[in-house]
Amino acid sequence: MLLRTSFAGAAAALALAAAPGALAQTAAATSAAAPPSAMDFKTGAVVKDTDGVAIGTVVKAGRASDGKVAVLVTIDGKDVSLPVNLFTVAGDSVVSSATKAQIQAAIPPG
């Protein structure tokens, strides 16, 4: 499955992967364990942060144009492509190691 992302979504994924500070540390800590595969994500699953606060919903997961596995998540009506290593998946539960505020701060305006 090819995950097609908008320029803003791809830029957001890059920004999250390269972001300084807490978000980059969060992604690095999560990536120490094997990240989930694209097949682990269910369309429509609610994404929550580690405190159980809803962030958005999964649209789909698959390979982005750069060949890396990414997850397309709708946050406040906007689709954002995020690196798979930000997530853990257990059944229908999808948990992001980054908060909604951290994700939104890494998304370029536009």
**Domains of the chain, first to last:** 7-106 (2.30.30.240)
- Mean pLDDT to the nearest integer, 43-71: 94
**What is the dihedral sign for C-alpha 15, 17, 19, 22?**
positive
Compute the radius of gyration of the chain from its Cα atoms: 12
Lowest mean pLDDT among 3-7, 34-38, 68-72, 102-106: 3-7
Q: How far apart are CA 42 and CA 15, in angstroms?
A: 24
pTM over 0.85: no
Tell me if 108 sits within 8 A of 12, measured CB to CB.
yes
**What is the dihedral sign for C-alpha 23, 69, 50, 53?**
positive
Q: How many residues does the chain have?
A: 110
Q: Would you say residue 24 has pLDDT above 90?
A: no
